[in-house]
Amino acid sequence: MNSKIFILFTFLFVQSIGLEAQSVSIYELGYPITDYEDNFKNLLRNWTKKNITNIEDFELSDIYFVEVLTSRDRYNHYRNFFSSDKSLHAATRGRKSMDTKGNIIEELYIQPGYRYAEFYDTRGMNDSIRNILSDNFQKQARDLLSREFDMDTLQLFNYQYYKECSDTASSGYEKQVRNHTVTSLEPLSQHYIDIVLEGDKKITDLTVNDAREFILENLIIERLTTQVAFTNTVKQGDRVYAINFTYHGNAYTNYIVCSSESKKVVWDHLFMGILPEQ
């Protein structure tokens, strides 16, 4: 299955807004964070081929302050922005190998991009998926991605799903855990439960109309779940910064948020997931 389809239909909510307790992001390894600029000193200090294998694909050009989130309107603007198709995300690929002397070699490849590209371009997808993603439906999905939510005025449904599954396979005893925390505007549909939570169905098991309804429901859930995480992480008074860079010669701007209390980067979908070797 095309990788873009896999992201759309099986990805619930994964992003680099938090770190494992024992890990330190590219913004924090080095100088102690006593002011906002220390994050970017560390970013530049750790911007090496040792930490980013394909570093030659990038060129960092500018880092600058954008604004303080002082008003409710601007806060809600970024809450919507980071859950839309306009915010940069990272596709990462890691690999471990061993040289002739027995030394472990770790590689990390970073590729910037935008989520929900399947609502703009369906080339390379199989016919059944392209039939679901008609031109009219793609526009409907894009309109939903640009919709402005105000979570402070909405009645929301929050769900916590946890299930352990065990089985005996050829490789031995296997244990799987399905753990989801999601937020929705309405009670979850049975199709959402079957496909995302239980994993018992695939979208191709549905009729075209049911598949489209599921996709729209999933988009709303992904956006609201992201916005809940943003609300729990980012506070009014925090600062927004931007990092301009090029990748393969194409210009991008990555927006990040720094806490007004800790001065640390607390929200970033692109570089925060880079965890340099200490």
pLDDT averaged over 10-residue windows placed end to end, the chain, 278 residues: 33 37 83 97 96 96 97 97 96 83 85 95 93 97 97 95 76 77 96 95 96 98 97 98 98 98 97 86
pLDDT at 170: 60
pLDDT at 168: 64
- 274 falls within a domain: no
pLDDT at 72: 96
Identify each DSSP E strand in the chain by its residue range.
Answer: 58-68, 88-98, 104-114, 157-169, 172-184, 239-247, 250-258, 265-267
Show the domain range for 261. 3-267
- 278 falls within a domain: no
The answer to whether 97 and 105 have CB atoms below 8 angstroms apart is yes
Q: Taking CA 275 as the corner, what is the angle to CA 28 and CA 161, rounded to the nearest 5 degrees?
A: 105
CA atoms of 212 and 143, how far apart (whole Å): 14
- 276 falls within a domain: no
pLDDT at 100: 78
- 86 falls within a domain: yes
Number of folded domains that form the chain = 1
**How many other C-beta atoms lie within 10 A of the C-beta of residue 139?**
11
- 7 falls within a domain: yes
pLDDT at 163: 87
- 275 falls within a domain: no
pLDDT at 276: 85
- Roughly how many angstroms between the first and final C-alpha of the chain, as a whole number? 37
- 33 falls within a domain: yes
- 103 falls within a domain: yes
Q: Closest Cα to residue 221, out of 129, 157, 130? A: 157
Angle between helical axes of 135-145 and 208-233 (0-180°, round to 10) = 20
CA distances from 123 to 4, 18, 39, 127, 129 (A): 10, 34, 39, 10, 11
